[in-house]
């Protein structure tokens, strides 16, 4: 009987550890779900016509290069043509998995250009895990492509 009690206790514990160790599914919608529209023009063309005070509703596709490792509250996405866009999520309303790098993504929201302050650049560098020496090298504002997503679709790896 003692063997049965030990077995009945250890087996569920083993099963719980095994199930929790499985790779979580990260593909799917985050934020608002949306219909994928065929691209009318390349992502670079959307940003080319924008000034610092302009914004345009758009849908972009690309490959996730980097995700905030603290909680998934921002990501950097490589666009066709070699440019990179910095993506935040509307109203801080959702996050993406921190292990979503190298996955394809479709984003729905607002595209704009912005000048990022030294303070904000240092904050993101700290989120990335940069060394204090690297963080201290940041000493001037930087113009960057930005996107505020109200919905994100992370596509499964092939």
| pLDDT tens across the length of the chain (158 residues) | 665 556 556 555 655 555 444 456 788 999 999 999 886 677 778 888 788 888 999 999 999 999 999 899 999 999 977 889 999 999 999 999 999 999 999 999 999 999 889 999 998 888 888 999 999 999 999 888 999 999 999 998 76
Please report the pLDDT score of residue 14 as a whole number.
Answer: 53
Please report the pLDDT score of residue 19 as a whole number.
Answer: 47
DSSP symbols for 87-118: EEEGGG-----TT-TT-EEEEEEEEEEEEEPH
Listed in sequence order, the residues at least 6 apart from 27 whose beta carbon sits closer than 8 Å to its beta carbon are 103, 154, 155, 156, 157
Alpha-carbon distance of 150 to 90, in angstroms, equals 5
CATH topology for 27-154 is OB fold (Dihydrolipoamide Acetyltransferase, E2P) (2.40.50)
Nearest to 154 by CA among 57, 48, 93, 72: 72
Q: Which two tokens stand for residue 123?
A: 């904050």
Please report the pLDDT score of residue 153 as a whole number.
Answer: 96
Alpha-carbon distance of 22 to 5, in angstroms, equals 27
Question: What does the domain layout of the chain look like in residue ranges?
Answer: 27-154
pTM: 0.74
Q: Does residue 85 contact residue 60 with C-beta atoms inside 8 Å?
A: yes
């Amino acid at each position: 009987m003692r063997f049965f009690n030990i077995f009945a206790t250890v087996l569920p514990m083993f099963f719980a550890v095994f199930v929790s160790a499985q790779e979580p599914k990260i593909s799917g919608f985050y934020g608002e779900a949306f219909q994928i529209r065929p691209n009318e023009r390349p992502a670079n063309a959307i940003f080319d016509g924008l000034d610092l005070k302009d914004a345009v509703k758009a849908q972009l596709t690309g490959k996730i290069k980097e995700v905030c490792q603290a909680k998934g509250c921002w990501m950097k996405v490589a666009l066709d043509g070699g440019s990179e866009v910095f993506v935040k999520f509307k109203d801080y309303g959702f996050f993406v998995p921190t292990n979503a790098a190298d996955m394809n993504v479709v984003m729905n929201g607002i595209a704009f250009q912005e000048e990022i302050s030294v303070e904000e650049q240092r904050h993101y560098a700290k989120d990335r895990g940069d060394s204090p020496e690297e963080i201290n090298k940041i000493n001037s504002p930087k113009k960057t492509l930005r996107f505020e997503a109200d919905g994100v679709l992370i596509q499964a790896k092939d």
